[in-house]
Amino acid sequence: MTLRWFIFLASSLALVAPLPAFYSRKRRFRTLHALDIERRNGSRWVMLTHVLRFAGHWIELARGLLASLGVLATIDVLQTVSPFFATHAAWARFVLPLGLAILCVSLIALLFRYPGKSLAPIPFLTATLLVLVPLPVAIPALLLALTWGVAIRSLAAFFLALPPALALLGFFLDRQLWPSVAGAVLALVPGAIALARHQEFVIPVRRPASGS
């Protein structure tokens, strides 16, 4: 096996690995509404630091970025030596890594064991979309979905707004629809699974030093 194939397989495995599904049940998981209540009862800054200082968010952000870049870069190289990638390069460059990311968020949703809750894979989803969907489409779609989710204090709203935003912006701003459509499917999967299983989205936050 050549080095480029090894990098491709390693990046693909990193992109698929559902690491957040195995977060300890001892960690704190909060809905956006619960975080808003904590903000009103305390400090907005303290609430925000509990979210941002959870190391898992940054690990997932880095995993999404690096694994997506690794798959993308090796596909660009492999299409010069592999008949499959050379023939299907027009769509494989975007759809294949996004397909791997879809598998990842599906596994996160299905393997996360917390009664009535579904883990919102927002850092991983954001990183993957920023790499694999054109930035003029990904950035405004993410900002629109985030703004709506925060405005109505619902993580589900983020996943509800993101797929149509990606699809519509991709239709108007991108000549190739493959990346935006695949990105919209990726964004749709967590919400669809949570809806089918009647689960509420939560995000992990850093436990205070007091352990409360």
**What are the extents of the domains in the chain?**
3-16+27-205
Beta strands in 95-209 (DSSP E): 117-119, 200-205
Residue 212: its pLDDT value, please? 40
Q: How many CA atoms lie within 13 A of 17 on its CB side?
A: 15
Pairing assessment for the beta strands 28-30 and 117-119 based on DSSP bridges = unpaired
Assigned token pair, 80: 């010069």
Instruction: Tell me how far CA of residue 45 lies from CA of 33, 60, 202, 212, in angstroms.
Output: 16, 22, 19, 17
Residue 33: its pLDDT value, please? 80
Residue 50 burial (CB count, 10 A): 19
Residue 5 burial (CB count, 10 A): 14
What's the rounded Cα separation, in Å, for the pair 184 and 178?
10
* Residue located via tokens 């390069």: 89
Residue 128: its pLDDT value, please? 95
Q: pLDDT tens digits, the chain, 212 residues: what are they? A: 587 788 889 999 999 999 999 998 777 898 888 887 766 666 666 677 778 889 999 999 999 999 999 998 887 777 776 676 666 666 777 778 888 999 999 999 999 988 899 999 999 999 999 998 999 999 999 999 999 998 898 999 999 999 999 999 999 988 778 889 889 999 999 999 999 999 999 999 876 655 44
Residue 211: its pLDDT value, please? 44
Question: At residue 116, what are phi and psi to the nearest 5 degrees?
Answer: 75, 5
Residue 168: its pLDDT value, please? 95
Residue 57: its pLDDT value, please? 94
Residue 24: its pLDDT value, please? 83
Residue 104: its pLDDT value, please? 96
Residue 35: its pLDDT value, please? 82
Instruction: Tell me how far CA of residue 30 lies from CA of 10, 89, 156, 165, in angstroms.
Output: 32, 41, 13, 26
